[in-house]
A and B are shown apart, each in its own frame.
Chain A
Amino acid sequence: MSAPVDTVDPRPEAPPAGRSKRTAGFLLAGLLVALVLAGGVSHYASSEPDGLNKVAIDKGLDQHEKDSATAGSPLADYGVEGVESERLSGGLAGVIGVVVTFTLAGGVAYVATARRRRAAPPR
């Protein structure tokens, strides 16, 4: 007689009360970490070329490199156009990126589940 530890993971149907509040707290804490990393810590990141760029420079993969079509974007190269301070410009760009990415990915995930919601409306 073995203990039934191998049951198929059931989707949590009705989370216990308090679970969603805790998840909201986790979400806020996680976002705060992301904002601090992108908005502050990123200032101290290495500015050396990354692995691919380094190989490209050393071996000439970049001979025909073209400027990105978005090179003129006000956020190009992780800075905000018109902001003088490098630290502020980079930090602000990071914060904007975190907010945009969160919204877009959360939105995509929400839409992805929409069809299931229509098929099986919440009880």
Chain B
Amino acid sequence: MHVPDGYLDGPTSLACAAVAAAGVAVSLRGSRRELDERSAPLAGLVAAFIFAVQMLNFPVAAGTSGHLLGGTLAAVLIGPWTGVLCVSVVLIVQALFFADGGVSALGVNVVNMSLVTVVVGWGVFALVRAVLPRTRGSVVVGSVLGAALSVPAAAVVFTGLYAVGGTADISTGTVLAQMVGLHVLIGLGEALITGLTVSSVLATRPDLVHGARHLAGRTLDIRTPETALAA
């Protein structure tokens, strides 16, 4: 979903750049609560993994492919603030080194693919986690639902931006229908990859999954029939 240069006009691109910069700055502050110097390399790994998987376009419909965006995955693995930083770094590297996504559109891409996917993905995840039982399975379900919804959400936001500052005169309804239709399908791929990755890390190092921290200490929870009933 990398927006090239020239799709959106200057003012819209500039406004997005300002929002993106503010979002990254706030996330830098927030990430201090999620990270310590030992976990900093893990943030590097999350970003590197997302970069790699973004190269793996999968077919979704006739003549169309999609790839992971990664906001939900990053937020669940390393925390939402650090997740924004990770996906933003991926987008910056792609724009500057690989000419993937425009340079003047970098703000647009950070807003769409980093801020929106993390906010929606983590929001849905947190909601599901609060409602479902405190198990690893619930963490996976939350990740899958968050991922599935985050992609169409990014498509809707792009459509909104195009309605405001698109450089070609195309009906917003047409763009919305096409964008959401395809990105619901791409969201299924996002959900699958996110679910598989979160499950794998939960199976090997559950202590490294930020979204499963509330389960920490569970193994030390000694239950007699009485306490189990009470809990």
Contacts and interface: CB of A to CB of B under 8 A. Distances in A.
Q: Which 3 pairs of residues, A with B, have the shortest CB-CB distance?
A: A106-B44, A105-B47, A109-B43
Contact of A55 (B85, B98, B178, B205): B178
A110 B57 CA distance: 31
B51 A34 contact: yes
Contacts of B96: 70, 73
B37 A113 contact: yes
Nearest to A9: B213
Interface of B: 1-7, 28, 31-32, 35-53, 55-60, 63-67, 82, 85-86, 89-90, 92-104, 134, 155, 158, 162, 166-168, 170, 174-175, 178-179, 182-183, 185-186, 204-205, 207-208, 213-214, 216-218, 221-223, 226-227, 230-231
A9 B53 CA distance: 30
A6 B134 CA distance: 10
20 contacts: A3-B230, A5-B221, A30-B49, A37-B55, A41-B56, A46-B65, A50-B66, A51-B66, A51-B182, A52-B1, A52-B179, A55-B178, A58-B178, A61-B170, A68-B4, A68-B103, A96-B97, A101-B51, A112-B85, A115-B32
A23 B47 contact: no
A: interface residue count bin: 35 or more
Contacts of A59: 170, 174-175, 178
Interface string A4-37: 0111010110010000101100110011011101
Contact of A102 (B39, B48, B59, B227): B48
Nearest to A38: B52
Name, among B38, B42, B43, B48, the residue most crowded by chain A CB atoms within 10 Å (CB to CB).
Answer: B48
Could you tell me the dominant secondary structure of chain A's interface residues?
helix
A101 B93 contact: yes
A75 interface: yes
Interface of A: 1-3, 5-7, 9, 11-12, 15, 20, 22-23, 26-27, 30-31, 33-35, 37-38, 41-42, 45-52, 54-56, 58-71, 73, 75-78, 93-94, 96-110, 112-113, 115-117
B223 to A, nearest CB: 6
Contacts of A117: 37
B178 A66 contact: no
